[in-house]
Amino acid sequence: MAIWVCGEALIDKITSGGQLREIPGGGPANTAHALARLDVASEFIGGLSSDSYGQMMREQFTAAGVGLRFTPTHELPTCTANVTIAADGGASYQFIIDGTATFAYDEKVLPSIHQEEVDAIYFGTLAAIVEPGASVLFTWMKRAVGKVPIIFDPNIRPTVLGDRERYQGAVARFLQIADVVKASTEDIAWLYPEMHEFEVAKSWLAHGVKLVVITRGEKGLVGITTEHVIEVPGIEVDVVDTVGAGDTVGAILAEGILTHGLERALAAELSHILHRAVQASAITCSRQGAQPPYKKEL
């Protein structure tokens, strides 16, 4: 049994202090690595290139213990992201997407929801908006509704899709099939500038989502269900950068659902899971790049 993590694995080209570093990234890929460090079995579902970047990422996935049974190799280049780190540690991204292996989804090589064993599906970031892959994944994941929990992380990237109305539509489509949604205050503020984040969360719950987790950076996070509103303050830490912090929260949510089952994760264990998520994301922020904690560190 495992968690399937669907989305992009790409290369972050990070400029900091006048130096350029090229490191594997992508929200879903970061989440898969974070799950591996939590000793949670996972399968990454995405496209990897035959180029040197793709080979490097495949080797790192394998070394980390992330499964790649459903990740084909394509004779297309790897998607890259030019990442700029601000003085406060925040990161901004510019992506090179078109014609890359990263988003070359093909339903013929996606695993069968009915024939394979899986505990949960985690999905998000650019794979929710880059077509035609987004539609391929939506059609595929619809078959899992009611069978396994689906966790959706929209992880908004306006530099890729600046049309707010289209972006709202893309998010709304996946809300139809999601059980859990994780989003940052920045995500929500950009998507719905006229609405308070609690109003947005209530509207998502009205779609059928069972849990909304809003990450608030240094202020911690809040988990919202139809029964509970649990706010967890942040943990003070010397921030190196915030790369991978939200992806770490997503991994902790997936771990909690796997450990306790969806029903208990949304009720009796929710406060514990959210506190664990804040602790884990603080550790990630204290390190350079997406370096989430190992299970023994929590």
Q: How confident is the model at residue 7 (pLDDT cuts 50, 70, 90)?
A: very high
Identity at 156, one-letter amino acid code: I
Give yes or no for residue 289 having a pLDDT over 90.
no
Q: What is the DSSP-derived secondary structure letter of residue 288?
A: S
pTM (two decimals): 0.94
C-alpha span between 151 and 182 (Å, rounded): 8
**Which strand (E) or helix (H) includes residue 203?**
helix 197-206
Half-sphere exposure of 104 (CA within 13 A, CB side): 19
Partners of 180 in the β-ladder:
151, 211
Q: How confident is the model at residue 72 (pLDDT cuts 50, 70, 90)?
A: very high
Kindly report the backbone phi and psi dihedral angles of residue 271, in degrees, each rounded to the nearest multiple of 5, phi listed first. Answer: -60, -45
CATH topology of domain 3-293: UDP-N-acetylmuramoyl-L-alanine:D-glutamate ligase (3.40.1190)
Q: Cα-atom radius of gyration of the chain, to the nearest Å? A: 17
C-alpha span between 162 and 197 (Å, rounded): 20
Give yes or no for residue 193 having a pLDDT over 80.
yes
Contact criterion met (CB below 8 Å) for 214 and 186: no
List the chain domain ranges: 3-293
Q: What is the pLDDT of residue 242?
A: 82
pLDDT in tens, 29-49: 999 999 999 999 999 999 999
Residue with tokens 């969806």: 262
Contact criterion met (CB below 8 Å) for 152 and 35: no
pLDDT in tens, 145-177: 999 999 999 999 999 999 999 999 999 999 999
Pairing of strands 150-153, 180-184: parallel
